[in-house]
């Protein structure tokens, strides 16, 4: 199996719909998986606009969405924020990601984070902030496996661990 990181494309429409259906009522990560995708072409246009910093919703920053794929199957999604505002630096960080439930526990999260970090470096981002809930041990291990160092913890509704890479 050879996985790769790709930008969203129309050829993945069916796989994306299956991915979202598999997530069902879970909290969805990254944020872009919450966007309406009923009209898939409009959804893709919105992602491209966000990458250019255009038509951003309040509080959002320019960002790039990536999909980890194996052939035509989407395994997971990541979102690389190209800059941070005060709120996202406090809680959110540069990278958010999620793996479809049937693919969890197979090290795909670590691969997705590794490839997304490489994209960040290519774009000149150096110190990356990557956050997760303390209760999400799998995410913490994934961040640490990619050289993340625990910087601090904050408490909102639950404890958020803030790593730097």
Strands lying side by side in the sheet with 149-155: 129-133, 159-164, 149-155
Kindly report, residue by residue over 114-126, the tens digit of the pLDDT. Answer: 999 999 999 999 8
Q: Please tell me the CATH superfamily of domain 3-164, with its number.
A: Gcn5-related N-acetyltransferase (GNAT) (3.40.630.30)
- In the numeric block, the tokens 């904050």 are attached to 154
Are the beta carbons of 47 and 32 closer than 8 angstroms? yes
pTM for the full predicted model = 0.94
43-98 confidence digits (pLDDT tens): 999 999 999 999 999 999 999 999 999 999 999 999 999 999 999 999 999 999 99
Average pLDDT over residues 5-25: 94
8 A C-beta contact, residue 144 and residue 134: no
CB-CB contact of 129 with 93 (8 Å): yes
Q: Which pLDDT band, with edges at 50, 70 and 90, does 148 fall under?
A: very high
Q: What is the CA radius of gyration of the chain?
A: 15
């Amino acid at each position: 199996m050879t996985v790769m990181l790709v930008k969203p494309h129309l050829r993945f429409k069916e796989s994306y719909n299956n991915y979202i259906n598999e997530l069902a009522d879970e909290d969805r990560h990254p944020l872009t998986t919450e966007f309406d995708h009923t009209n898939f072409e409009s959804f893709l246009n919105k992602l491209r606009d966000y990458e250019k910093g255009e038509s951003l919703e309040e509080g959002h920053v320019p960002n790039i969405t990536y999909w980890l794929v194996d052939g035509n199957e989407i395994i997971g999604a990541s979102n690389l924020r190209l800059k941070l505002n005060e709120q996202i630096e406090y809680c959110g960080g540069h990278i958010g990601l999620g793996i479809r439930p049937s693919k969890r526990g197979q090290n795909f999260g670590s691969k997705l984070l590794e490839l997304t970090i490489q994209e960040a470096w290519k774009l000149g981002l150096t110190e990356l902030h990557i956050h997760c809930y303390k209760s999400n041990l799998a995410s913490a291990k994934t961040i640490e496996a990619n050289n993340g160092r625990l910087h601090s913890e904050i408490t909102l509704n639950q404890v958020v661990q803030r790593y730097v890479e």
